[in-house]
Every structure is written in C-alpha cells, then in structure tokens.
Structure 1
Amino acid sequence: MSSLFQKIKSQKSNIGTFSISFSRLMLVWLGTLFFLSLFEILINGFSRQFPENTFQILLYALWNNFNYWISCLFYLYVVFIGLSYLSLRLTTITSQCLIGLFFVMHLVLIGYFNTALVPLGADLYSYSISDIQQTVGASSGTGLPVIIAFVFLTGIFISCIKYLPVKVKIGPKWSLFFPILSLFQYITPFNSFTINFPTEYENNLTINKPAFFLSASSDYFFHSNAEVDIYADGYIGDFEGFTTQGIKFEYPYETQYPFYHSNQSPDVLSPYFQALKTQPNLVIILVEGLGRAFSNEGAYLGNFTPFIDSLADKSLYWKNMLSAGGRTFAVLPALLSSLPFGENGILEMGPAIPKHLSLYTILKRNGYRTSFYYGGETEFDGMKTYLVNNHVDEIIEEKSFPTGYIKLPPSTNNFTWGYSDDELFRYYLKKRNGALSKKPELNVILTVSTHNPFLIPNQGKYIQMVKNRMGKLGFNANKQAEYSNFMNQYSSIMYTDESLKKFFQEYQKRPDYTNTIFVITGDHRLPEIPISTKIDRYHVPLLIYSPMLKRTAQFASISTHFDITPSLLAMLQNQLNFNLPKTGASWMGDGLDTARNFRNIHQYPLMQNKSTLIDFILEDYHINGNTLFKITDNMEETAIKDEVKLSQLQAAFSIFKKKNAKLILGFKMVPDSLISRYGIN
C-alpha cells in the first residue's frame, strides 16, 4: 500500500515538474507572440501606413494572439506530458522545435501580408506550383534586407526559447492554471466577441495570421465549397418574390442543366448607340487591379487615372461595377462566358470545364475573328486552357513577342511578369494593322503592369507624376507622406493610364476606329493599397466607349462582370439579327442595369479567391460569411444586424451553391444541341 502511495506521489511530483517546464516554455512563446503583434503593426506602419487608432488595434491584436496561444495550449500540454515520461530533455527540445516552426510560419505570414495586404488563407492550395513560383518570384519583399531581418529575428527567438524559460518563476499550481484555462476555453469560449474597425486593412492587421491560415486550411480540406445546405429547397418559397425588379430566371430542365434558363436579357444598350450598319469590332481591355478606389471622379483614395476619367465622360460609365472575383482567375469566365465558379474557380477544372457558350464562340459563329493579348504567360490561372476550349483564333502571350519589345523591369529576384502595357498595346496595334479589311474582330487585352512588384519602365517619371497629382488633388503634407509608402503602386497606375491614352491616340488613326466598341474594366481592385471594406476588393469601373455612341451616360446602379456578355449580345442580336440561341442560355448574369440612380436588381455570388466563396449580393445588401452589410451609393457599406435579411441572402446563396455543386459533379451547362448550333465543337 505504501509503495502504491509512493508511486502516486512520485507521478504527481513528475507531473508538477513537467508542468512547470511546459509553462515556462509556453510563457516565453506568449511573449514572442506579443512581440510579433507589435512588430507586425510597426513594419506595416512604416512600410505602408499607420492606422489612426493604432493603440486600440495593437490591444486587439494582442488579444487575438493570446487567444491563439491559449487555444493551442491544452493540446500541446497533453503531448508534452505524454512525451515527458519518455525523456524530459527530448520533449523540451521537440517542443522548442515545434514552437520554432510556429514562429517561422508566423514571420512568413506577416511578410506575406505586408506584401499583399491580405492574409494568406487556403488560396495557397488552389494554385499550381508554377503559379506559386511566379507569384513568389514577383514579390519584391524577399531581397537581402528581408532575409537578413528574418535570420536575425529567428536567431533572437532561438536565444529566447533556449535561455529564458529557466528564468521564468512559476509554481506547480500556477503551472497548471494555463492548461486548465485552455481546456475551459473549449468548453466555454471566451474569445467569441469581435471588434470591427473602420477599414478592412485595420481589421486584417489585428488577425493572428497563423490562426487565420490554419482555420482556412481546415475549412479547405474538411469543409469544401461544394458542401451546400441540403435544405436549400425549403427556403425557396420564402425567397421567391423577394426581388421583383430584375429578371427572374426560369429553369426548364434544372435537374439536368442547373444553370440553363429560358430567359433572354433585354437590349439596354441600343438606345445609346447609333444604328449599327455593319458588324462592329469589339475591343475588351481588362486592366489588372483597376479599382474604383483610385479611379475616376469620386474615388475615395483620389483619382489617379486622369485619362480613364476623361474617357468616362465620353462613354457609358458604370461607377458601381463589381468584378466577380477578388483575383484575376475569375475575370475571363465571368466577363466572357458569364460562368459560375465551380469549386476553386472554374478555370481550375482545366480540360474538364463544362462545354459552354461564350462571347468568343458565339461571335465566331457569326463571322468574327477572335484573339487574346497578354504580356505574361497564359498558363497562369488556367487561362490558356479556357482560351483553347473557346477556340480563340490567336493567343498572344509573353513567348509570342518578337525581339525589339521590352519587358517590365525585373524584381530583386530577377523575375518579371512579362511585357509592359506600352509594349503590349504597341504589339497589338502592329499585329492588327494587317487585318483591317478582313473579318470583324473580338479582341481581348489583359494588362499586367499594375501588378506586384509594381516596377515599370521609367518609374521615376511616373513617381513625379504621382507627386504632381497629389498636389493637384489638394493633399496636405501628412497625406502625401502616407501615400509615399505606396508610390510604386500609384506610379504603375498612372503609367497604365498614360499607356491607355497613347493606345487610344494611335487607334483613332485606324480606319476601323469609327466601327469599334471598346469595353474597359478592372479584373479586380488591387489589394496592395489598403482596402476599406469587404466589397471594396470587387469595386471596379466599367466603360463602354465608341465613336458610334449617340449619347453618354453615367449609371450608379450596381452590375457585375456577369452582366456584360448578355447585354452586348442582346444589342447585336437586336440590331444586326445575330445568330443567337433563342430558347435560352446559361449566363449567370441577366444584363447590365442602366438606371441612373443607385440600386441593385441583381443577385450574385462573388469569389474572394480560389478557395473562398463567402460573398453574396442581393438588392442593397451584401453578406460576407455570416456578417450582413448594407450597401450605399459609391459602394460604401456598414455592418448591420437584421436576421430576416441575413436569412434571405443566405437562402439565395444556398440555392446558388446547390447548383454550383452539381456543376462540380459533372452536370452540363447547356444541351449539346446548343453547343452544336451556337458554340464551337
């Protein structure tokens, strides 16, 4: 009996000793987490901008890091105690290495955020190795100073984790307090409250980056976007009739073709155009990262695109246009095919993308020659497969350029995205000069210069243009100093704006200029300048310009990239009797809204990145995850509490997800007969 008592006493003593060793190590780790909170705010403040409420943000960041620490503690404690019975020294070394890995991951994720200004999530898993290599190569944040800083901080951490734990004074009882608190946190969470700061940049600063990454990774691997609410059909009765202004799609064969509907989009563009006598050329210019935040009148960051602004005055201009995605992966399928997303962006399906109709295929059936021009590699984001599947006649990319054209300046990693916008437009005009008397054309141009690392030819000239522009906009000294941390971004914006100006000056000399319709929009809003709201990353301008316009107009109503192709085709069919499907289509969009006043008659999902489908708009409401926002003019939004509206949007979103899940499973977009008649086999 006494031996049993001695054994129990010995084990209690061992647990106490092990717990003390564990708690010492964990408290040092907590100290490093608090240091990283301060470090992240300082590095972003000096290299980007300090938020107005820096102290409050720091306190909330400390709280989030503490929650991350306490949520890990119980699991680590169980592992530590279990291994300690084998060897306390080996367990301590193993724990130090594990926490070291957490520290390194934390530093890397802080560095990523400092470059991209969005936290890294599960979108990492949705890119190919070559795409990741391109993105990492483009980063200007991996030069020698960054490497030295990384090695220095890691060295400091190793010293702290090795020498400081023995200096921490903590008794056996207190050593058990934190693991018990960690367990209690799982039973009764005390980290459920959230604080919403005025801008998305400020909110992202407070996020614990490893916790965000691990949570997003867990959702990606264990809670796929393909999962839907199985009770979605039960909501339909409550939802139908909720929006009465837009077209209510009718799905005659929904069990076979979940997106095929019998509705036709109205022709809203013809009233603004002269009568079309011949098939017009279409030139669609997709400007990388062009956001409304810094473009055109009313831009809250200031208007840094004077040419685009002047062109908007001569155009049909939608100031509240939304991209379908927060990255480039969404723009081609949404704008040219009005396609849904699939699981990770529909282009990720590669050759398995369902056969569908597009602006490319339908215009080709009506006698058009089609092309795509891009200064980079079209394999990025799966664009090449999409273009091949749509039988585009000419695909011009980086390897297509002959000698005599200049690429963008390389980053510190000797990487360049490809050819500058000036050179892209110059090559386009040269190539097209030989095709003036041939078929009508659909030409799509995707720019690349306004992309991280934002290095452009003759950058000094455009930096000075930014400084002059800030003076013209009336920025005071403090604001100009704040913007100086984003000088490369703004200079590349002004460079692309000037490139577009020269492009139009040259295009006006062509005889086919008077028979051309230009469509200009951004693929998404670049995130490397701080984002103000959740919907800001999708807010882009849309211009439809043509010498054939008989009147111009500005529209405050909301439309999206999904709406562009249906409206262009409706006008061409109405005016030129194009050969288009008369029984229906599978467009996500129901057409552009030409209301001058602010409103939204559409209901659409928006995909933040290839792994994050959490945004949906309906009327003047927007949901992001489980948060409901009220949208106002100029696409400003405020979080509100309205359970009825939240349920209505979630129900509509669930209906889309149910259809989208069928697409992932291999359902078709349209009947084969439509592909045979109006597509390209």
Structure 2
Amino acid sequence: MSSTYKSQLISIIRKSSSTFAGIGAAFLMFLFLASIIEILLGAYNHNITSGVEELIYYSLLEDAKFFLSLVFPAYLLYVLLSIPVTRLAFGLLKLIIVIFFIFQFILLFYFNTTLVLLGSDLFGYSADEIVQTVGSSGSIGFLPVLVLTLFIGVLILTINYFSKKIQWPLWFALMIPSISLSFILNGGESKFNSPRLSNEFESNLIKNKSSSFFASSYSYFNPDRFEIDIYADNYAKDYGNDGFRKATYVDESKFPFLRLDSESDVLSPFFRSDERLPNFVFIIVEGLGRAFTNEGAILGNFTPFLDSLSQKSLYWKNGLSTSGRTFSVLPSVLGSLPFSENGFNEISPSVPNHLSMLNLLKSKGYTNSFYYGGNAEFDGMANFLQKNGVKYIMDEDTFPRGYKKIPSNNGFSWGYGDKELLRYYLENSAKLDNGSPRIDVILTVSTHDPFIIGEKEKYRKLFRQRLKDQKVDESKYLDYEKQYSSVLYADDAIKNMISEYEKREDFENTIFIITGDHRIPEIPMVSKIDRYHVPIIIYSPMLKRTEEFSAISSHFDVAPSLLNYLENNYNLQLPKMNSFVGQGLDTTKLFRNINMIPLKQTKTALIDFVMGEYHLNDDQLFRLDANMVETPIEDPDKKEEILNAFNQWQRKNSEIGNGKKIIPDSIYKEYTSN
C-alpha cells in the first residue's frame, strides 16, 4: 500500500468520522426531542402519577441505552461505505434516519391512542386488518402528520448543518463509538434495567418505542425462543403438584394436549333439572374489564346493570381472559383450545380438527349462530366458525335496512353498535328458531376504539352522574369520557336485550354466559394482570341459587364445565378424551388458583403465565392477592419453577400447527358428525 493511498485512506476515515459525529449528535438530539414530545403528549392526554420531569428523565435514559447499542455498528458501516463513495454513505445514512423517525412517530402515535406497545403483533395481522384498525382509531390524522412533517424537515436541516458546517474534533468523533463498543461488550442493555413506575402505562410511556418493537420482533423470529430446561418435566407435567389440578395426558408425542376428561361437574348443584335441553347465549363484550365492572372495581363501577345481574347469577369476580386482544376469545370460551403460533384461528393452511361446544352439540341437535356488528372475517373468526359447522354467521353484511351503522372515522367504521346488534339478534334469532336447542354467540364492538356510540350526549351525562354518585376524583376520569360512556352504553344495551328476552317463551330454558374478551387498553392499566382481568357471569332462570366466587377461573374453563353439566344432566354422550386446556370453573368462594393459565398478550406475544397465586410477565414475577392486585417479588427459585412450567406449555403449544394434531380423527368423526 503506497504512502499516498494510506494518506488518502486516513483522510477519508477522519472526515467520515467527523461527519458521522455530526449525524450522530443530530440523531441523539432528535431522539431526545421525540421522547419529550411523547411524554408531554402522554401527560396532556392521560392521567399520570409521576412528575413530568421524572418521566422525561427516565425516557431520555432509555433513549441513551438505545443510542449506545446502535452507534458502534452504525459507525463501522458508515466508515466502510465512505471509503468507496463518501456521498453515497452520507445520503444512505440520512435516508435511514428519516425512515427511522417516521416509524418512531407511527409507534408513538399508536401508543398514545391505544396505550399498547406495538411489537411483533404487527406480523400477526393481514394488511386489511391493519388498515381497518389504524384507520378506525384515528391515530394518524392531520395534526400528527403535520407534526411529523415539521419534525422531519427540521431534522434534515439539522443533520446537514451538524455534519457539514461543524468540524468535530477527532477525539470526540472516536469517543462516542468507543463508549458504544464498551457498552455493547459489557452487556449494558441488560445491566441498566428500566425503572418500575407506579403503573403499566407510565412504565410503557418512557420506553423507546422502536427499541421495544425491535426487541419484540427479534423474540418472535428467534427460532430458539423456547429455552426448555431439561428438568422442566419435574414441574407440573401432570399438573398435579402443589395442589394444582391433575390432568392425565394420553399420548403427548402425537397429541400434545390430549387427555382424559376431568368429568368434574361443578354447575349441577346450582341448577334445577329440566327435561328440555337448555339454550346457551354467549354475550362476549368487547373490552369489558373487571377494573370498571361491578362492585369492588378498582376504577369504579360503570356497569350498573351487569352489577345487578351478577347478584342474581353465578359470578366469578376473578375471571381471566386468555389474551389481550379479541383473537383468542372464541376458541378459548367455546373450545378451551391452545393458541398455536398466532392464535388458533390463524393456523395455516387450515384450522385442525378439534372439539368445541359448537361442533359437539351440533351433533346432538343444537342450532348454532354467531352475531357480530363488524366483519366476521376479522381475526379469522369466520374461519373458526365455519370449521365448527356454524350455519348462521350474521355480521355487518347481513344487517337489513333499518339498522344504523356506527358513524365512520377517517372513512372507517367497525360496523353496528351494540344496541343495533342486540336488536338484530333478538329479531333474527326468533325467526331462525326451529324448535331445536340453540347456541347463540354474540360479540359486541362499541367499546372498541374509537368508542363512537349512538346517543352520545345521553351517555356522557350518565357518565358524569356516575362519577358524582361514586364520589370519585373526576379529574382522573374526564380524559376517558368516551371510553367510560361507551361502557355505560354497552351495559344499557345488554340490559335492554335481557329485558326483551325475558318476554320470550324460551327464556325459562336459556343460560346466558357474559364475559369480556379482554380489558379496554385505552384506559391505562393499573397492573400487568389488569389486561386480562374480566368478569365471568352465568345467568339463567334455571338457577336455583346464586353465588359469587373469588377463586380464579379463565375462559379456558367455561366450555369444559358447561359440557360436563350437560353430560351429567341430559344423558348426552360426550368423548372421554379431549384436548381442552382448561378443566372447569372453580366454584370455591375463597380466593385460590389451582390452575396454570397461559395468557397471550397479542397474537405473537405469549409472555404471561399465571400459576397458583403467581403471575409471570416476561421476566418479572408478581404475587396476586384476593382482589387481583399484584406485587412484584424477587424469588429466583419460584420464578425458575414457574418459567419451566411455562416453557413446557409453550413447547406443546408450538407443536400445534406444526404437524401434530389436536385430537385423533376417529374421535373427531365420531362426536361431531350429525
């Protein structure tokens, strides 16, 4: 290598290092600026308990961690590209930074609207579903686009000025990549943990949204993400250790979840006998969280009718949904089915043979129907229902004239509101009644972002009056007026529907099951478990006594209990083996949990596991109390035990859809054919 070439090479490295220092300084400055904007936006739109200055401080620390994890590899790449073509390297890096901040602001606006960190769940939805969700939410409107445009414009000007007009000394230009290298080699990302703030919203608010997205995506695409301990089978293989329910698995090598039926009928003591097979009406309420439902709700009671109904019902106040989104509710409630990779409905190329209340009871003469105000194709629901032989799938495309749709938002609408949906159900189900017993499944939509309801002013006034009646600090609720108003609207819609149904002849022979698919995320979560904490209500004139239960039960437990009740009281022959995840509702009045319950936060994030009185969320362990208030604890041995049990379950879950079956074909054919 000639001395001239060496001199040119050194000159290029010096110049590119100085230029990169300017670009890096601009990037960090605008990374900080974006976080400050986000914190101020969050403080303006939502109630915060921490100080704004404190949140900004922690947010900037998170940004600094993210910056240091990127600088050294970016510096190396930039210098290498600068050697052949300096202008190309500069233009390419500037373009990458612009794209990064556009993406960062999309994540920022998404979180500010939904209060949910967008991560690998993005990969679990189709393009049409993403457009529908984002468009309906209104998270990207004129003002956000204007702010982003101004931000990007000033960013480009700053990058040009910092990199071309300022001569950064070589020692400074090399110091930042050197610090970054040291940070990476010493595992700085894992050593400097994020602080635990007073609630989940604030803990998520301070996080760098791109960093969270990349981490979630890496975990999702990492083929070795299930790190199964070789001793995992020592923990709950038969779910019989330490007081947990025991399950006897038949052939896990071929059918991961196939087990002998528990045959535990806990509902018969509460019901009077009847010669006629009962009808089942499932009312699954979008976003119905326990945090604002019924007596003792941590955020106050905004469902006066459901509160009164639960007092005439079997009521599980510590119910758990199985996911933080709607995608799992039908398979979980109706079939107690595992999730597979992106939700049971999304198993490719087709949903595998399985048992559920729908197909098992169809073979016994039941007529099944599904009512939804939106598009039943969303989340693969129609796919699941068709696989289960549901003849009547009534969604927005089937509503006749005379029904009013939810007003559009940005040209998008979720369909028909709850009052219209339940009115349609009452009118249509009466026409479809052919004298056979029925399973009707109703999924509501009004309590979904953007929370547009009919009679807006009426329910706004009811909301304000509700605040006064409960004597709460109104300032903590007014930012969420449209959310709480929609809950009151949904509660009223159910009240009207039940009131009308009571006039029907078949009311005396009907069992209603009411629950939420998950908790509304747009009202800040008070804890990690809050996302899944929902009421489970079984109401019927067939009840001979009512009760409230404190024991934890989940959506996985609903179908097994209802089927065992039918089998023991109506001589229905049902299979002695199944692949249900749950083993039945727990009718213990005292607080306890004898179940192991996996909870899938999004289609791609299976990070929660409840085992006994403990809740494992990602890498954090919590202890639950009788009111489902959780406290973070440090117990390495207990954490390892729960993690091993969780990993074992995840391993089995991942095998579904990858060649292994849910149920033997012989059992499926015998018990689901008419």
Q: TM-score, normalised by structure 1?
A: 0.95
Q: Which amino acid aligns with 1:677?
A: E
Which deviates further from its counterpart, 647-656 or 239-248? 239-248
Which deviates further from its counterpart, 81-90 or 616-625? 81-90
* Residue 618 (structure 2) aligned to one of 616, 621, 625: 625
> 2-side partners of 1:239 and 1:316: how far apart?
30
Q: CA 1:590–1:242 in structure 2 vs 1: closer, same or farther (change >3 Å)? A: closer
What residue is the counterpart of 2:351 in the other structure?
353
TM-superposed CA distance for 1:537, in Å, is 0.7
TM-superposed CA distance for 1:61, in Å, is 0.7
SS of aligned partner of 2:505: coil
What residue is the counterpart of 1:507 in the other structure?
501
> 2-side partners of 1:610 and 1:573: how far apart?
33
SS of aligned partner of 1:512: helix
TM-superposed CA distance for 1:435, in Å, is 4.7
Contact 2:22 2:159 in 1 (8 A): no
Contact 2:281 2:439 in 1 (8 A): yes
TM-superposed CA distance for 1:86, in Å, is 2.8
What residue is the counterpart of 1:114 in the other structure?
112
* Offset from partner CA, 1:467-508 (integer Å, 9 cap, x none): 1111111123xxx23322211111111110110111111111
* Offset from partner CA, 1:596-650 (integer Å, 9 cap, x none): 1111000121111111111111100111122211111221112211111111111
Note if 1:428 corresponds to 2:425.
yes
Which deviates further from its counterpart, 267-276 or 447-456? 267-276
Map of 1:628-639 to 2, 5 A cutoff?
628-639=621-632
* Residue 551 (structure 2) aligned to one of 542, 554, 557: 557
SS of aligned partner of 1:633: coil
TM-superposed CA distance for 1:6, in Å, is 5.7
What residue is the counterpart of 2:336 in the other structure?
338
Note if 1:304 corresponds to 2:305.
no
Q: Which amino acid aligns with 1:578?
A: L
> 1-side partners of 2:389 and 2:348: how far apart?
14
Q: Which amino acid aligns with 2:403?
A: Y
Map of 1:232-247 to 2, 5 A cutoff?
232=230, 234-239=231-236, 243-247=241-245
Q: Which amino acid aligns with 1:569?
A: L
* Offset from partner CA, 1:521-561 (integer Å, 9 cap, x none): 00011111111211111111110001111111111111110
> 2-side partners of 1:640 and 1:617: how far apart?
14
What residue is the counterpart of 1:573 in the other structure?
567
Gaps spanning 5+ residues in structure 2: where?
A: none
> 1-side partners of 2:496 and 2:69: how far apart?
56
Which deviates further from its counterpart, 307-316 or 151-160? 151-160
Note if 1:524 corresponds to 2:518.
yes
Q: CA 1:548–1:351 in structure 2 vs 1: closer, same or farther (change >3 Å)? A: farther
TM-superposed CA distance for 1:9, in Å, is 4.7
Q: Which amino acid aligns with 1:216?
A: S
TM-superposed CA distance for 1:164, in Å, is 4.0
Give the paired residue count.
Answer: 671
Q: Which amino acid aligns with 2:668?
A: I
SS of aligned partner of 2:616: strand
* Residue 471 (structure 1) aligned to one of 452, 468, 475: 468
> 2-side partners of 1:137 and 1:616: how far apart?
32
SS of aligned partner of 2:68: helix
> 2-side partners of 1:327 and 1:178: how far apart?
42
Contact 1:356 1:679 in 2 (8 A): no
Contact 1:350 1:385 in 2 (8 A): no
Which deviates further from its counterpart, 43-52 or 488-497? 43-52
TM-superposed CA distance for 1:165, in Å, is 4.0
What residue is the counterpart of 1:215 in the other structure?
215
SS of aligned partner of 1:664: coil
> 2-side partners of 1:424 and 1:293: how far apart?
25
What residue is the counterpart of 1:410 in the other structure?
408
* Residue 183 (structure 1) aligned to one of 181, 184, 200: 181
TM-superposed CA distance for 1:14, in Å, is 3.2
* Residue 591 (structure 2) aligned to one of 598, 602, 607: 598
> 1-side partners of 2:629 and 2:97: how far apart?
41
Note if 1:668 corresponds to 2:661.
yes
> 1-side partners of 2:662 and 2:653: how far apart?
11
What residue is the counterpart of 2:201 in the other structure?
201
* Residue 651 (structure 1) aligned to one of 631, 644, 648: 644
Contact 1:377 1:397 in 2 (8 A): yes
What residue is the counterpart of 2:541 in the other structure?
547
TM-superposed CA distance for 1:350, in Å, is 5.1
Q: Which amino acid aligns with 1:507?
A: Y
What residue is the counterpart of 2:362 in the other structure?
364
Map of 1:47-126 to 2, 5 A cutoff?
47-126=45-124
TM-superposed CA distance for 1:20, in Å, is 1.3
What residue is the counterpart of 2:256 in the other structure?
258
Q: Which amino acid aligns with 2:658?
A: L
> 2-side partners of 1:619 and 1:294: how far apart?
24
What residue is the counterpart of 1:14 in the other structure?
12
TM-superposed CA distance for 1:125, in Å, is 0.8
Map of 1:606-617 to 2, 5 A cutoff?
606-617=599-610
TM-superposed CA distance for 1:455, in Å, is 0.7
> 2-side partners of 1:351 and 1:167: how far apart?
57
SS of aligned partner of 2:33: helix
Contact 1:265 1:591 in 2 (8 A): no
What residue is the counterpart of 1:587 in the other structure?
580
SS of aligned partner of 2:287: coil
* Residue 156 (structure 1) aligned to one of 154, 157, 161: 154
Q: CA 1:27–1:472 in structure 2 vs 1: closer, same or farther (change >3 Å)? A: same
Contact 1:351 1:385 in 2 (8 A): no
TM-superposed CA distance for 1:372, in Å, is 0.6
Q: CA 1:136–1:42 in structure 2 vs 1: closer, same or farther (change >3 Å)? A: same
> 2-side partners of 1:257 and 1:471: how far apart?
55
Gaps spanning 5+ residues in structure 1: where?
A: none
Q: CA 1:351–1:187 in structure 2 vs 1: closer, same or farther (change >3 Å)? A: closer
Q: Which amino acid aligns with 1:340?
A: P
SS of aligned partner of 2:401: coil
TM-superposed CA distance for 1:219, in Å, is 2.2
> 1-side partners of 2:540 and 2:475: how far apart?
39
> 2-side partners of 1:328 and 1:175: how far apart?
50
> 2-side partners of 1:228 and 1:22: how far apart?
39
Q: CA 1:228–1:67 in structure 2 vs 1: closer, same or farther (change >3 Å)? A: closer
Contact 1:350 1:386 in 2 (8 A): no
Q: CA 1:481–1:162 in structure 2 vs 1: closer, same or farther (change >3 Å)? A: farther
Contact 1:326 1:607 in 2 (8 A): yes
Which deviates further from its counterpart, 329-338 or 668-677? 668-677
Note if 1:395 corresponds to 2:393.
yes
What residue is the counterpart of 2:635 in the other structure?
642
* Offset from partner CA, 1:30-70 (integer Å, 9 cap, x none): 11111111100111111223343332222111011011111
Q: Which amino acid aligns with 2:599?
A: L
SS of aligned partner of 2:514: strand
What residue is the counterpart of 1:248 in the other structure?
246
Contact 2:18 2:163 in 1 (8 A): no
SS of aligned partner of 2:536: strand
TM-superposed CA distance for 1:154, in Å, is 2.1
* Offset from partner CA, 1:250-281 (integer Å, 9 cap, x none): 11222222111013241111111112332111
Contact 2:601 2:607 in 1 (8 A): yes
Q: CA 1:295–1:35 in structure 2 vs 1: closer, same or farther (change >3 Å)? A: same
> 1-side partners of 2:467 and 2:164: how far apart?
55
Contact 1:436 1:512 in 2 (8 A): no
What residue is the counterpart of 2:445 in the other structure?
448
* Residue 492 (structure 1) aligned to one of 469, 473, 486: 486
* Offset from partner CA, 1:390-436 (integer Å, 9 cap, x none): 0012110110111111111111x121111111111111111122355
- RMSD of the TM alignment (CA)? 1.8
TM-superposed CA distance for 1:168, in Å, is 4.9
Contact 2:418 2:493 in 1 (8 A): yes
Contact 1:318 1:541 in 2 (8 A): yes
> 2-side partners of 1:539 and 1:105: how far apart?
32
